[in-house]
Amino acid sequence: MFQFATKRSRSWYMILCLGFLVAGVFYLVPNNKIQNTIHMLSNEYTNLDTKHLAANNSLAIENRWGVKLQGIHVTAAGHMLDFRFQVTDPSKAAPLLDTKNKPTVIIEDSGIKLEVPNTPRIGSLRQTSKQVKEGMIFTILFANPGKMVATGQKLTVHIGDFSVEHIAVGDILNPPPKTSLQ
């Protein structure tokens, strides 16, 4: 099929296919059984160690880091992990978007670290922006060599001082609010 295509057109074809594959993740139907538990702030939460937060402490994560975690999902035929978060406070979220802070994922079962791939032509598969606004959703793609991570496994995400533990792969942590069509 590609024997007469140039090397340049094949590269664009591959990039286009990868783009469609990643875009397909947007159309996954959320699982109705997944529930997000939100705890009210109290005196107990004001003294929390905010360096190591559990994924179910969404209010504490939002208060400390200015982000709502959307979840982490297997994508690209199982060879990548798609981690997403929504910015609620750009000044608090700045360390997560700083390119000096290298993101890693740790598989909690085995302790194996997974990193963000850095391709020669595209660069790091990590979304960044110089003009961060409230409500923006950012994506970080992690390599998943050998399909080591499967849906349901627990992961820890590190980005600089940011650390969130026990994120279940495939769970939607903060679903968008339901709106009625009028």
Domain ranges of the chain: 49-168
| Mean pLDDT along residues 145-152 | 93
Q: What is the pLDDT of residue 49?
A: 47
| Amino acid residing at 90 | P
SS3 category, 119: strand
- Whether 92 shows a pLDDT value over 60: the answer reads yes
Is the pLDDT higher at 150 or at 36? 150
Among candidate residues 182, 173, 165, the one with its CA nearest the CA of residue 53? 165
Least confident of 25-39, 96-110, 165-179: 25-39
- Is the pTM here over 0.85, yes or no? no
- 134 vs 121, residue with greater confidence: 134
pLDDT in tens, 41-73: 333 333 444 456 777 678 888 889 999 999 999
pLDDT of residue 26: 42
Q: Where does the chain show beta strands of DSSP type E? A: 53-54, 67-75, 80-87, 103-107, 113-115, 118-119, 123-124, 137-143, 154-159, 162-168
Q: At what angle do helices 58-65 and 90-97 cross, to 10 degrees?
A: 90
Looking at the DSSP assignment, which residues form a beta bridge with residue 86? 68, 137
Separation CA 168–CA 150 (nearest Å): 10
Q: CATH second-level architecture of 49-168? A: Sandwich (2.60)
